[in-house]
Amino acid sequence: QSALTQPASVSGSPGQSITISCTGTSSDVGGYNYVSWYQQHPGKAPKLMIYDVSNRPSGVSNRFSGSKSGNTASLTISGLQAEDEADYYCSSYTSSSSYVFGTGTKVTVL
């Protein structure tokens, strides 16, 4: 199972919006509404930010939103803040009854 494809880095100024893409195939992202997104600060464990494509767990800021079109899922961070600077990973359930993560995106707040 190949990793889902994410851009290596995305940057934006405080207050701006950025979008991170996550591209897979019809056997994973495109085949199921089971895409989740995780935020990871250096030296810390990942934290769930979005589940089932577009749902936000309680406690996660509504500045984070998710969507999907075909084989590509997206995470949008609006009103970018310094604390959003971190690595972000997508994940999808697959037709092999397994999970696959994305390659990861480093978000930089300029």
Partner 1 sequence: QVQLVQSGAEVKKPGASVKVSCKASGYTFTSYDINWVRQATGQGLEWMGWMNPNSGNTGYAQKFQGRVTMTRNTSISTAYMELSSLRSEDTAVYYCAKDGPPNWFDPWGQGTLVTVSS
Q: Footprint of partner 1 on this chain (CB under 8 A)?
A: 1, 3, 32, 34, 36, 38, 45-48, 51-52, 57, 89, 91, 93, 96-104
Rounded to an integer, what distance in angstroms lies between the CA atom of residue 94 and that of residue 11?
Answer: 30
Supply the minimum distance, in Å, between the C-beta of residue 15 and partner 1.
28
Rounded to an integer, what distance in angstroms lies between the CA atom of residue 5 and that of residue 24?
Answer: 7
Q: Give the rounded distance of the alpha carbon of 43 from its chain centre.
A: 19
Taking the least distance from each CB to partner 1, the nearer of 16 and 98 is 98
Exposure of 19 by Cβ count < 10 A (0-12 exposed, 13-18 middle, 19+ buried)?
Answer: middle
CB-based contact 69:62 (threshold 8 Å): no
Supply the minimum distance, in Å, between the C-beta of residue 16 and partner 1.
25
Phi and psi angles of residue 83, each rounded to the nearest 5 degrees, phi first:
-70, -10
Taking the least distance from each CB to partner 1, the nearer of 14 and 90 is 90
Taking the least distance from each CB to partner 1, the nearer of 39 and 71 is 39
Supply the minimum distance, in Å, between the C-beta of residue 96 and partner 1.
8
Taking the least distance from each CB to partner 1, the nearer of 21 and 101 is 101
Under DSSP, is residue 103 helix (H, G, I), strand (E, B) or coil?
Answer: coil
Supply the minimum distance, in Å, between the C-beta of residue 48 and partner 1.
4
